[in-house]
Amino acid sequence: MKGVKISIKNVGIEPAYDLNWTINIVGYGSGFLNLTKKGSSSLPLQIGDEKKLRFLPFGRSVIDISITANASNAFESKKSADGLIFIFFIIVLYL
């Protein structure tokens, strides 16, 4: 897979307001990598809608990927995965 593709979906029973997200990629091994990307949206995410994000890190390492998303009217949601990165190709090993 080229880069990290993330989908944040509103699975709640009302629109999500003031959506914020953080993507953190930490690498270990021959190439140390520590990248963080933060973002937000002032537009409400309607019920069942998705916000698609893409992040293209660069390196050569074993990586941990963690994603956190929250809205002003919803609980925080976290997801993480382990993988490998070589240049900008990423293989997710565990989700």
Q: Are 70 and 39 in contact (CB under 8 A)?
A: no
Q: Taking the complete model, does pTM exceed 0.75, yes or no?
A: yes
pLDDT at 50: 93
pLDDT at 17: 94
Task: Read off the pLDDT of residues 27-75 as tens digits, 9 standing for 90 and up.
Answer: 876 666 777 889 999 899 999 999 998 877 767 778 888 999 999 998 8
Task: Read off the pLDDT of residues 71-85 as tens digits, 9 standing for 90 and up.
Answer: 999 889 999 988 887
- For the domain bounded by 4-94, which CATH number is listed? 2.60.40.10
pLDDT at 89: 64
Which residues are CB-neighbours of 90 under 8 A, at least 6 positions away?
1, 2, 3, 4, 57, 63, 83, 84
